[in-house]
Amino acid sequence: MSDTTLYERIGGKDAIDAAVDIFYGKVLADERIKHFFDNTDMDEQRKKQKRFLAYAFGAPVKYEGKDMRTAHAHLVERGLNDDHFNAVGENLVNTLIDLKVPQDMIDEVVALVETTRDDVLGR
Protein backbone atom coordinates (compact mmCIF):
# COMPACT_ATOMS: atom_id res chain seq x y z
CA MET A 1 0.00 0.00 0.00
CA SER A 2 1.08 3.51 -0.74
CA ASP A 3 1.00 6.34 1.81
CA THR A 4 -0.15 8.90 -0.73
CA THR A 5 -3.85 9.47 -1.22
CA LEU A 6 -5.70 8.10 -4.23
CA TYR A 7 -6.29 11.76 -5.10
CA GLU A 8 -2.56 12.38 -5.51
CA ARG A 9 -1.86 9.11 -7.28
CA ILE A 10 -4.65 9.65 -9.81
CA GLY A 11 -3.17 13.03 -10.76
CA GLY A 12 -4.76 15.60 -8.47
CA LYS A 13 -7.24 18.32 -9.35
CA ASP A 14 -6.59 18.37 -13.10
CA ALA A 15 -7.19 14.63 -13.41
CA ILE A 16 -10.41 14.79 -11.38
CA ASP A 17 -11.69 17.76 -13.38
CA ALA A 18 -11.03 15.95 -16.68
CA ALA A 19 -12.64 12.76 -15.38
CA VAL A 20 -15.83 14.51 -14.25
CA ASP A 21 -16.26 16.34 -17.56
CA ILE A 22 -15.86 13.15 -19.61
CA PHE A 23 -18.03 11.23 -17.15
CA TYR A 24 -21.03 13.56 -17.43
CA GLY A 25 -20.68 13.59 -21.21
CA LYS A 26 -21.19 9.85 -21.09
CA VAL A 27 -24.00 9.95 -18.52
CA LEU A 28 -25.99 12.53 -20.49
CA ALA A 29 -25.68 10.38 -23.63
CA ASP A 30 -26.83 7.22 -21.81
CA GLU A 31 -30.52 6.45 -22.54
CA ARG A 32 -30.74 4.35 -19.38
CA ILE A 33 -30.14 7.25 -17.00
CA LYS A 34 -30.05 10.62 -18.74
CA HIS A 35 -33.69 11.43 -17.84
CA PHE A 36 -32.74 11.75 -14.18
CA PHE A 37 -30.73 14.87 -15.12
CA ASP A 38 -33.48 16.63 -17.11
CA ASN A 39 -33.96 19.38 -14.52
CA THR A 40 -30.42 19.55 -13.23
CA ASP A 41 -28.11 22.54 -13.65
CA MET A 42 -25.15 20.63 -15.07
CA ASP A 43 -22.58 23.36 -14.51
CA GLU A 44 -23.40 23.33 -10.81
CA GLN A 45 -23.53 19.54 -10.80
CA ARG A 46 -20.06 19.23 -12.31
CA LYS A 47 -18.62 21.56 -9.68
CA LYS A 48 -20.24 19.62 -6.84
CA GLN A 49 -19.11 16.29 -8.26
CA LYS A 50 -15.54 17.48 -8.62
CA ARG A 51 -15.43 18.55 -5.02
CA PHE A 52 -17.09 15.36 -3.88
CA LEU A 53 -14.68 13.11 -5.79
CA ALA A 54 -11.66 15.07 -4.64
CA TYR A 55 -12.80 14.70 -1.06
CA ALA A 56 -13.69 11.01 -1.48
CA PHE A 57 -10.22 10.35 -2.92
CA GLY A 58 -8.60 11.94 0.11
CA ALA A 59 -7.81 15.45 -1.11
CA PRO A 60 -7.31 18.24 1.41
CA VAL A 61 -10.59 19.94 0.48
CA LYS A 62 -13.84 20.07 2.34
CA TYR A 63 -17.06 18.61 0.90
CA GLU A 64 -19.95 20.82 1.93
CA GLY A 65 -22.66 19.41 -0.30
CA LYS A 66 -25.62 17.30 0.68
CA ASP A 67 -25.05 13.81 1.99
CA MET A 68 -25.73 11.08 -0.57
CA ARG A 69 -29.04 9.97 0.93
CA THR A 70 -30.48 13.49 0.91
CA ALA A 71 -29.10 14.37 -2.53
CA HIS A 72 -30.80 11.40 -4.21
CA ALA A 73 -34.03 10.99 -2.21
CA HIS A 74 -36.16 12.68 -4.89
CA LEU A 75 -34.65 10.35 -7.52
CA VAL A 76 -35.54 7.27 -5.47
CA GLU A 77 -39.12 8.56 -5.60
CA ARG A 78 -38.76 8.62 -9.39
CA GLY A 79 -37.68 4.97 -9.46
CA LEU A 80 -33.90 5.13 -9.05
CA ASN A 81 -32.66 1.54 -8.61
CA ASP A 82 -29.62 -0.75 -8.76
CA ASP A 83 -29.67 -0.89 -12.57
CA HIS A 84 -29.30 2.90 -12.71
CA PHE A 85 -26.57 2.84 -10.08
CA ASN A 86 -24.72 0.18 -12.09
CA ALA A 87 -25.08 2.25 -15.26
CA VAL A 88 -23.51 5.25 -13.54
CA GLY A 89 -20.68 3.04 -12.26
CA GLU A 90 -20.11 1.67 -15.76
CA ASN A 91 -19.81 5.20 -17.18
CA LEU A 92 -17.33 6.10 -14.45
CA VAL A 93 -15.17 3.05 -15.13
CA ASN A 94 -15.21 3.71 -18.88
CA THR A 95 -14.14 7.29 -18.17
CA LEU A 96 -11.16 6.11 -16.13
CA ILE A 97 -10.24 3.60 -18.85
CA ASP A 98 -10.37 6.45 -21.43
CA LEU A 99 -7.99 8.41 -19.19
CA LYS A 100 -5.64 5.41 -18.97
CA VAL A 101 -5.93 5.16 -15.21
CA PRO A 102 -4.30 1.87 -14.12
CA GLN A 103 -6.64 -1.00 -13.30
CA ASP A 104 -5.67 -1.20 -9.61
CA MET A 105 -6.72 2.43 -9.11
CA ILE A 106 -9.94 1.82 -11.02
CA ASP A 107 -10.61 -1.03 -8.60
CA GLU A 108 -10.11 1.36 -5.67
CA VAL A 109 -12.52 3.89 -7.16
CA VAL A 110 -15.14 1.20 -7.78
CA ALA A 111 -14.83 0.02 -4.17
CA LEU A 112 -15.26 3.61 -2.94
CA VAL A 113 -18.31 4.25 -5.11
CA GLU A 114 -19.81 0.96 -3.95
CA THR A 115 -19.80 2.23 -0.33
CA THR A 116 -22.36 4.88 -1.37
CA ARG A 117 -24.86 2.46 -2.98
CA ASP A 118 -27.30 2.01 -0.09
CA ASP A 119 -27.34 5.72 0.74
CA VAL A 120 -27.85 6.76 -2.89
CA LEU A 121 -30.66 4.21 -3.25
CA GLY A 122 -32.21 5.19 0.11
CA ARG A 123 -31.94 1.83 1.88
**Closest separation between CB of residue 2 and ligand HEM, Å?**
23
CB of 71 to ligand HEM, least distance (A): 4
Distance CA 102, CA 7 (A): 14
Instruction: Dump the DSSP string for 38-101.
Output: TT--HHHHHHHHHHHHHHHTT-S----S--HHHHHHHHHHTT--HHHHHHHHHHHHHHHHHTT-
Residues at the contact surface with ligand HEM, assessed by CB under 6 A: 33, 36-37, 40, 45, 48-49, 52, 65-66, 71-72, 75, 80, 84-85, 88-89, 113, 116, 120
Q: At its nearest, how many Å lie between ligand HEM and the CB of residue 118? A: 11
| Min CB(111)–ligand HEM separation in Å | 12
Complex with ligand HEM: residue 1 or 109, whichever CB lies closer: 109
How far is residue 93's CA from residue 91's CA, in Å, rounded to a whole number? 6
Ranked by CB distance to ligand HEM, the top (closest) residue is: 65
